[in-house]
Amino acid sequence: MNIGIVGLGLMGGSFAKAVKRYAIATKVYGYARSEKSKKEIAELNLVDELVDIKTLKEKCDLIVLAIPVDNIISIIPEFLDIKDTTTIMDLGSTKDFIVKNIPESIRQNFIAAHPMTGTEKSGPKAAIDDLYEGKTVVLCNLEDNENIHVNRAFKVFQAIGMRIVVMDSDEHDIHACYMSHLPHAISYSLANTVMGHEDPKSIIALAAGGFKDMSRIAKSSPDMWTDIFKQNRENLLKSIDLFEDHMKKVRTMVEEEDYDDLKEWMKKANSLHEIL
Ligand SMILES: NC(=O)C1=CN([C@@H]2O[C@H](COP(=O)(O)OP(=O)(O)OC[C@H]3O[C@@H](n4cnc5c(N)ncnc54)[C@H](O)[C@@H]3O)[C@@H](O)[C@H]2O)C=CC1
Ligand SMILES: O=C(O)C(=O)Cc1ccc(O)cc1
């Protein structure tokens, strides 16, 4: 099988490394837009050959879109003439808007996937050898796909060591919102709150583990995350409201010196780590 990857940053570059490591592909092709990316991808030896979209469509059995979620939508028109036997798959963090905007003519070829793994880093240099190893990938609305494409997706994800979970795209977007998109909104908010109050010298001198843990994902790509917040806007708004309720609650308990209730509220939060 020949595999083509569009966008060779953290997710696409790591996918290239994984399929090479497990010798799943006869040849791995890549497509990148900028000269800077092309140079980095070549230096890191992420793919066997960098080609244009036309060649990618001619040569590849599986084409993976590892680009920001709005770019997935805007690049799709270039793939309307893929062969019936070509699988096209995205790795975007949102799923509902994407599946609803795939044209009918290629809907059966299009596998909507979200690997639940990543980091705050981006670009080709961020690619990691074992990013996907032992991690979960969510596949959505598989009833809209032909078997040949579903089987190919299962084969590739299992071969790179992933666990597959199947669900509807709207259900996916709710779970992804609470477990990933809201935490990113909180981390960006925390980073901006602290920087608005503390000078850089104090941050360097005094930042402890907790602050570093909670602000790590505030380093994530604004291009990628603006698109995600846009596509999952409704769920994100609801989750921010619920989070604000908790911030108001802790504020009231502290203001009213209601320390018994505060302790109970904290104990409840502690129990999350019995599950995780
Ligand atoms: N970063 C993470 O931890 C995770 C990201 N995702 C999703 O994976 C996708 C890719 O994210 P990352 O790899 O983290 O981003 P990234 O920024 O590291 O890589 C994306 C690459 O695609 C290139 N690109 C953008 N538009 C392009 C286009 N039209 N044609 C060709 N190349 C293009 C960019 O120059 C960049 O090098 C996004 O949809 C994101 O939501 C999913 C799970 C985890
Ligand atoms: O860096 C982290 O801890 C992440 O949470 C990475 C991440 C980012 C986006 C996703 O859709 C999934 C995972």
Q: What is the predicted pLDDT for the residue at 178? A: 98
Neighbours of 41 (CB within 10 A): 25
Q: Does domain 2-167 have CATH number 3.40.50.720?
A: yes
What pLDDT is stored for residue 266 in this prediction?
98
Banded model confidence at residue 132, pLDDT cuts 50, 70, 90? very high
pLDDT at 109: 98
pLDDT at 218: 98
Per the CB < 8 A criterion, the answer to whether 175 and 148 are in contact is no
Place of tokens 């477990």: 179
Is the pLDDT confidence value at 11 over 90?
yes
- Give the domain ranges of the chain: 2-167, 172-275
In this predicted structure, what is the pLDDT of residue 50?
A: 98
Q: Using CA atoms, how far apart are residues 8 and 38, in angstroms rounded to an integer?
A: 9
Count of CB atoms situated within 10 Å of the CB of 185: 19
Q: What is the DSSP letter of 234?
A: H
Per-residue pLDDT at 205: 87
pLDDT tens by residue, 33-86: 999 999 999 999 999 999 999 999 999 999 999 999 999 999 999 999 999 999
Instruction: Name the DSSP letter for residue 109.
Output: T
- Rounded to whole angstroms, the Cα distance separating 202 from 211 reads 13
Q: Is the CB of 155 under 6 A from ligand 1?
A: no
Q: Which residue among 121, 180, 215 has the greatest number of ligand 2 atoms within 8 angstroms of its CB, and so is best to mutate?
A: 180
Q: Which whole number is the average pLDDT over 173-185?
A: 98
276 has a pLDDT exceeding 90: no
Is the CB of 231 within 6 Å of ligand 1? no
Task: Tell me the angle at which helices 233-255 and 182-197 cross, rounded to the nearest 10 degrees.
Answer: 50
Q: Quick one: DSSP state of residue 22?
A: T
For ligand 2, say whether the CB of 231 is within 6 Å of any of its atoms: no
Strand partners, 114: 138
Distance 115 CA to ligand 2 centre (A): 9
> What is the full DSSP assignment across 155-195?
HHHHHTTPEEEEE-HHHHHHHHIIIIIHHHHHHHHHHHHHH
- Residues 28-40 pLDDT 10s: 999 999 999 999 9
Q: Amino acid letter at 201?
A: K
Q: Would strands 110-115 and 136-140 be described as parallel, antiparallel, or unpaired?
A: antiparallel
Ligand 2 centroid from CA 139, angstroms: 16
Q: Would the pLDDT of 114 be above 90?
A: yes
Q: What is 172-275's CATH topology? A: 6-phosphogluconate dehydrogenase C-terminal fold (1.10.3660)
